[in-house]
């Protein structure tokens, strides 16, 4: 095999097989090529495919790596190139009883988790308003990532009433998961670690097998993933991790930057190889990104370089307002598209928060410029798909109460909350799941009349398809469900545009199934519903980036990681927005924000535009802004356009202001105004004021937010009558009076 395609450092990384190795791979440095060539080199030098484990973070990355390795060495049967969650699932499917689960356990996604928590809150008579479901699930996820049981979490929060209640929800959540023979996504990692940590025979089996371990995007690993990797690699020490500490931007999702920073402490004999040649961006963009990131203290020193030309300087525009900012972006895109023939798809606008997209959409629409927003919304989160997936899960596992509750009355079968509660009570008293109670016949007593007939029909086709699933393809099962449930008839009879769109989604899902069946057929495997559902459950957030679509991409900076575009715009570079106001008071948060800035800048291949607004209206409030700290950290020699304010000291020590209109110095202590916090507080205050109508009485001089000054001339139990100077007499409901007394 020739390694001529690799540079000197890449070749060094690819040919270093034995012992621990840390590959620090900067943005655009060709890490995927290096990793695949390394695997190929190992195989050609006598390492068995069976002994190699390569772990990535996304299914897309794993698929790409498998395809590249197959191109280099041919068949890779026996090699594990997989994600952390898929790896743990594979291990758990082999030995589920060793962690207390039965065969055919389910994987609950976010929607299932929410349903479960909502049910617990209802049973415990806890308000969702006071205990938001998302917040509880976030706490549970954090606990699991840090191996914190409900009991330990409770013990650590004995003095906190609210957290004690959350601990009780967490405890019940775990109990119900277990009773449904189900795990959530965090459980896949947690139970995967338990399987290895608490079963020496299992650990020894996988250590014997995986003598060589490789981990991609190591900077994004959390504590559990770190423990799993350490367990597997500890004996043979043949571990290769690839990552870039400068691109660790997911600490809010559990990523622990210390895993990559402390790798040499965990493996003292580790060799460190730095991939610093960038193949993506021109020189000025790389130099600009480096001038920002080098201000981080918690990082491994490195500097990207390229043999490409310097290219255009980074362009900076200090807009008058957010509208002027959006106008400038739309105009520049149009000019470059028309004047230089650059396709629309070559442009990307990357912003810190989703709320920033609104004004850009408006200006792009006004100019007729095609655009699309890359969102985190999963195709599989659409209601009609969730319903059919729940049906398929119920066919596989009759213990799945959550799926049953979702579909037993979808399409409508006349089943009300009372009947469903009766069924749940009967099932619980018999020690069964709700579906098992129906199949057994004892659950039918919960229903009467036409509803009973409908439930009997529902039960029988679930029984039929469950019994026949081994004799049917996934496509056949899906078609049977569409017809037997009445789902297609329901949408057709509705006759609306929305219903037609939902039908299209259901039909498109048939393509997903067909692709799966094609893959299994080519690999010689059987098409099985259970296997299909596992693959479906493990799908990451859908990658909406379709390079074939000629449209500008609008997306968050976080979503842009791993992508690249010839021309990139970064708006909103103001203290308080980017970096956010909270980061200004926290060094660790500021460093993560700076890493995010570095990631965003290095998405650009040829041209990079940076923007800020002197005045910005956000959450209904208009304020003057200060240019972002990251702008002030940029090497001024790399920037053209508007000047960035910097403080210059003369020989006489007289401060001289240079640059743009904001008039702030670089080193002046500064805490930006927290617009979001203000907005929330203002909202609460306004709401309180709305309820203040009872404080006003006949004869009071008042001021109204819309009508101005007036006099209360009458009142009753529910209303105030006010004579306003501007509009005359108005009757106002006390609950929404929006009044304040005049002095």
List pLDDT tens digits, range 225-279. 999 999 999 999 999 999 999 898 888 778 889 989 999 999 999 999 999 999 9
The answer to whether residue 493 scores a pLDDT higher than 70 is no
Active site residue 448: no
User: Tokens at residue 721, please?
Assistant: 């009558």
- Strand runs labelled E in 467-524: none
Active site residue 683: no
The answer to whether residue 684 scores a pLDDT higher than 70 is no
Cα separation, 495 vs 515, whole angstroms = 30
Average pLDDT over residues 537-559: 69
| pLDDT at residue 538, rounded to an integer | 72
Local structure of 580: helix, strand or coil: strand
Active site residue 367: no
Partners of 577 in beta bridges: 580
Return the number of other C-beta atoms located less than 10 Å from residue 43's C-beta: 20
Question: 650: pLDDT confidence band, cut at 50, 70 and 90?
Answer: very low
Catalytic annotation, pick one of 172, 187, 216, 332: 216
User: Tokens at residue 653, please?
Assistant: 């020590």
Active site residue 216: yes
Question: 480: pLDDT confidence band, cut at 50, 70 and 90?
Answer: confident
| pLDDT at residue 321, rounded to an integer | 92
SS3 track for 479-527: HHHHHHCCHHHHHHHHCCHHHHHHHHHHHHHHHHHHHHHHHHHHHCCCC
- Residue 310: what are its φ and ψ, rounded to 5°? -65, -35
Name 521's Cβ contacts closer than 8 Å, sequence gap at least 6. 527
Cα separation, 460 vs 484, whole angstroms = 10
The answer to whether residue 451 scores a pLDDT higher than 70 is yes
Cα separation, 530 vs 535, whole angstroms = 9
Residue 255 CA, chain-centre distance (Å), reads 13
Q: Helices in 634-691 by DSSP H: which ranges?
A: 675-690
Question: 378: pLDDT confidence band, cut at 50, 70 and 90?
Answer: very low
Tell me the pLDDT tens digit for each residue of 383-422: 888 999 999 999 999 999 999 999 999 988 889 889 999 9
Mean pLDDT score of the chain, rounded to an integer?
86
The answer to whether residue 674 scores a pLDDT higher than 70 is no
The answer to whether residue 670 scores a pLDDT higher than 60 is no
Radius of gyration for the chain, computed over Cα atoms and rounded to the nearest angstrom? 30
- Biggest CA pair distance of the chain: 96
Return the number of other C-beta atoms located less than 10 Å from residue 637's C-beta: 11
CB 592 within 8 A of CB 249: yes
Cα separation, 570 vs 593, whole angstroms = 14
The answer to whether residue 332 scores a pLDDT higher than 70 is yes
User: Tokens at residue 323, please?
Assistant: 């509208």
Partners of 545 in beta bridges: none
The pTM score is 0.74
Name 266's Cβ contacts closer than 8 Å, sequence gap at least 6. 230
3-state helix, strand, coil in the chain (%, to 5): 50, 15, 30
DSSP 376-426: ---GGGSHHHHHHHHHHHHHH-TT-HHHHHHHTTSS--S--HHHHHHHHHH
Tell me the torsion sign for CA atoms 382, 387, 393, 395. Answer: negative
Tell me the pLDDT tens digit for each residue of 61-73: 888 899 999 998 8
| pLDDT at residue 567, rounded to an integer | 98
DSSP 8-state symbol, 550: -
Question: 380: pLDDT confidence band, cut at 50, 70 and 90?
Answer: low
Catalytic annotation, pick one of 12, 15, 16, 32: 32
Closest CA to 419 of 461, 392, 458: 458
Report helix angle 497-523 to 487-494, nearest 10. 150
Local structure of 579: helix, strand or coil: coil
Question: 680: pLDDT confidence band, cut at 50, 70 and 90?
Answer: very low
Catalytic annotation, pick one of 10, 56, 139, 247: 247
Question: 124: pLDDT confidence band, cut at 50, 70 and 90?
Answer: very high
Cα separation, 131 vs 484, whole angstroms = 39
CB 569 within 8 A of CB 559: no
| pLDDT at residue 240, rounded to an integer | 96
- Helix (H) or strand (E) holding 339, with range, is helix 322-340
Sheet holding 271-275, edge to edge: 80-83, 52-56, 212-215, 239-243, 21-25, 271-275
Residue 347 CA, chain-centre distance (Å), reads 23
The answer to whether residue 199 scores a pLDDT higher than 90 is yes
| pLDDT at residue 495, rounded to an integer | 62
Question: 673: pLDDT confidence band, cut at 50, 70 and 90?
Answer: low
Partners of 574 in beta bridges: 627
| Residues in the chain, overall count | 743
Closest CA to 397 of 180, 94, 188, 183: 180
Active site residue 31: yes
Closest CA to 408 of 382, 432, 398: 398
The answer to whether residue 605 scores a pLDDT higher than 90 is yes
Tell me the pLDDT tens digit for each residue of 34-93: 999 999 999 999 999 999 999 998 888 888 899 999 998 888 888 999 999 999 999 999
Burial environment of residue 616 by CB neighbours within 10 A (0 to 12, 13 to 18, 19 or more): buried
Share of the chain above pLDDT 90, in %: 57
Tell me the pLDDT tens digit for each residue of 686-734: 555 544 556 788 899 988 766 789 999 998 887 889 899 988 998 877 7
The answer to whether residue 653 scores a pLDDT higher than 70 is no
Catalytic annotation, pick one of 144, 352, 603, 626: 603
Residue 381 CA, chain-centre distance (Å), reads 14
Average pLDDT over residues 347-354: 91
Local structure of 243: helix, strand or coil: strand
Question: 667: pLDDT confidence band, cut at 50, 70 and 90?
Answer: very low
Burial environment of residue 699 by CB neighbours within 10 A (0 to 12, 13 to 18, 19 or more): exposed
Closest CA to 481 of 495, 468, 500, 497: 468
Cα separation, 134 vs 136, whole angstroms = 5
| pLDDT at residue 342, rounded to an integer | 96
Q: Residue 278: left (phi > 0), alpha (psi -120 to 50), or beta?
A: beta
User: Tokens at residue 117, please?
Assistant: 């928590």
Cα separation, 130 vs 461, whole angstroms = 41
Long-range pairs, 329-336, Cβ under 8 A, ≥24: 329/360, 329/363, 329/569, 329/571, 329/609, 329/611, 330/360, 330/363, 330/364, 330/366, 330/367, 330/369, 332/569, 332/609, 333/369, 333/552, 333/567, 333/569, 334/367, 334/369, 336/567, 336/607
Question: 666: pLDDT confidence band, cut at 50, 70 and 90?
Answer: very low
Partners of 187 in beta bridges: none
Catalytic annotation, pick one of 109, 172, 184, 217: 217
Average pLDDT over residues 17-44: 92
Residue linked to tokens 């795990």: 183
| pLDDT at residue 693, rounded to an integer | 56
Active site residue 237: no
Share of the chain above pLDDT 70, in %: 88
Cα separation, 246 vs 219, whole angstroms = 9
Of the listed ranges 20-24, 120-124, 667-671, the one predicted with least confidence: 667-671
Catalytic annotation, pick one of 9, 11, 31, 325: 31
Cα separation, 233 vs 213, whole angstroms = 7
User: Tokens at residue 226, please?
Assistant: 């770190």
Partners of 723 in beta bridges: 711, 729
Partners of 52 in beta bridges: 212
The answer to whether residue 553 scores a pLDDT higher than 60 is yes
């Amino acid at each position: 095999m020739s390694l001529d395609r690799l540079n000197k450092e890449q070749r060094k990384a690819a040919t270093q097989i034995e012992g621990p190795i840390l590959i620090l791979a900067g943005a655009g440095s060709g890490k995927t090529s290096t990793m695949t060539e390394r695997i190929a080199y190992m195989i050609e030098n006598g390492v068995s495919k069976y002994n190699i484990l390569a772990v990535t973070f996304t299914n897309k990355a794993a698929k790409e790596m498998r395809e590249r390795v197959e191109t280099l060495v041919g068949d890779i049967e026996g090699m594990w190139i997989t994600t952390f969650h898929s790896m743990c699932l594979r291990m758990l499917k082999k030995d589920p009883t060793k962690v207390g689960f039965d065969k055919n356990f389910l994987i609950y996604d976010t929607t299932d988790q929410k349903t479960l928590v909502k049910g617990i809150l209802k049973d415990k008579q806890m308000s969702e308003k006071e205990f938001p479901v998302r917040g509880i699930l976030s706490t549970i996820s954090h606990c699991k990532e840090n191996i914190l049981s409900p009991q330990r979490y409770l013990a650590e929060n004995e003095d906190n009433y609210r957290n004690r209640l959350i601990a009780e929800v967490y405890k019940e959540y775990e109990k119900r998961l277990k009773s449904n023979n189900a795990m959530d996504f965090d459980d896949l990692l947690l139970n995967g670690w338990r399987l290895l940590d608490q079963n020496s025979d299992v650990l020894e089996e996988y250590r014997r097998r995986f003598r060589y371990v490789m981990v991609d995007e190591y900077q994004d690993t959390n504590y559990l993933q770190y423990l799993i990797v350490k367990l597997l690699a500890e004996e043979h020490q043949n571990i290769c991790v690839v990552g870039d500490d400068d691109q660790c931007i997911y600490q809010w999702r559990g990523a622990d930057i210390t895993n990559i920073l402390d790798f040499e402490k965990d493996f003292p004999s580790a060799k460190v190889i730095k991939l610093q040649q960038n193949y993506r961006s021109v020189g000025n963009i790389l130099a600009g990104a480096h001038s920002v990131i080098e201000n981080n203290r918690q990082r491994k020193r490195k500097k990207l370089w390229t043999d490409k030309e310097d290219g255009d300087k980074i362009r900076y525009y200090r807009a008058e307002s957010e509208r002027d900012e959006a106008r400038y972006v739309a105009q520049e895109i149009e000019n470059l598209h028309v004047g230089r023939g650059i396709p629309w798809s070559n442009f990307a606008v990357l912003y810190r928060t989703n709320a920033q997209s609104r004004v850009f959409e408006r200006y792009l629409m006004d100019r007729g410029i095609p655009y699309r927003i890359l969102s985190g919304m999963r195709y599989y989160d659409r209601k009609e798909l969730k319903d059919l997936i729940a049906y398929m899960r119920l066919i596989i596992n009759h213990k799945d109460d959550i799926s049953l509750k979702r579909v037993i009355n979808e399409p409508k079968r006349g089943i009300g909350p009372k009947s469903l509660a009766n069924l749940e009570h009967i099932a619980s008293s018999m020690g069964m799941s709700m579906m098992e109670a129906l199949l057994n016949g004892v659950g039918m007593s919960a229903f009467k009349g036409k509803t009973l007939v409908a439930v009997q029909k529902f039960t029988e086709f679930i029984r039929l398809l469950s019994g026949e699933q081994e004799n049917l393809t996934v496509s056949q099962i899906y078609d049977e469900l569409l017809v037997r449930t009445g789902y297609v008839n329901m949408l057709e009879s509705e006759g609306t545009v929305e219903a037609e769109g939902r039908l299209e989604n259901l039909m498109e899902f048939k393509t997903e199934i067909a692709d799966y069946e094609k893959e299994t057929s080519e690999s010689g495997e059987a098409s099985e519903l259970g296997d299909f559902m596992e693959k479906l459950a493990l799908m990451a957030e859908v990658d909406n980036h379709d390079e074939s679509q000629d449209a500008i991409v609008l997306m968050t900076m976080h979503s842009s990681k791993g992508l690249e575009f010839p021309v990139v715009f970064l708006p909103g570079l103001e203290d308080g927005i980017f970096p956010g106001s909270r980061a200004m008071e926290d060094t660790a948060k500021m460093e993560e924000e700076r890493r995010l800035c570095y990631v965003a800048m290095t998405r650009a291949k040829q041209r990079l535009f940076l923007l800020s607004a002197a005045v910005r209206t956000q959450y209904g409030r208009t304020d003057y802004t200060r240019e972002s700290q990251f702008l002030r950290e940029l090497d001024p020699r790399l920037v053209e356009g508007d000047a960035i304010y910097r403080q210059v000291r003369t020989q006489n020590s007289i401060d001289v202001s240079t640059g743009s209109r904001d008039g702030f110095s670089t080193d002046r202590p500064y805490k930006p105004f927290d617009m979001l916090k203000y907005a929330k507080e203002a909202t609460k205050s306004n709401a309180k004021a709305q309820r203040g109508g009872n404080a006003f009485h006949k004869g009071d001089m008042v001021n109204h937010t819309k009508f101005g000054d007036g006099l209360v001339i009458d009142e009753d139990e529910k209303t105030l009558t006010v004579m306003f100077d501007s509009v005359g007499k108005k009757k106002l409901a006390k609950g929404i009076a929006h009044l304040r007394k005049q002095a």
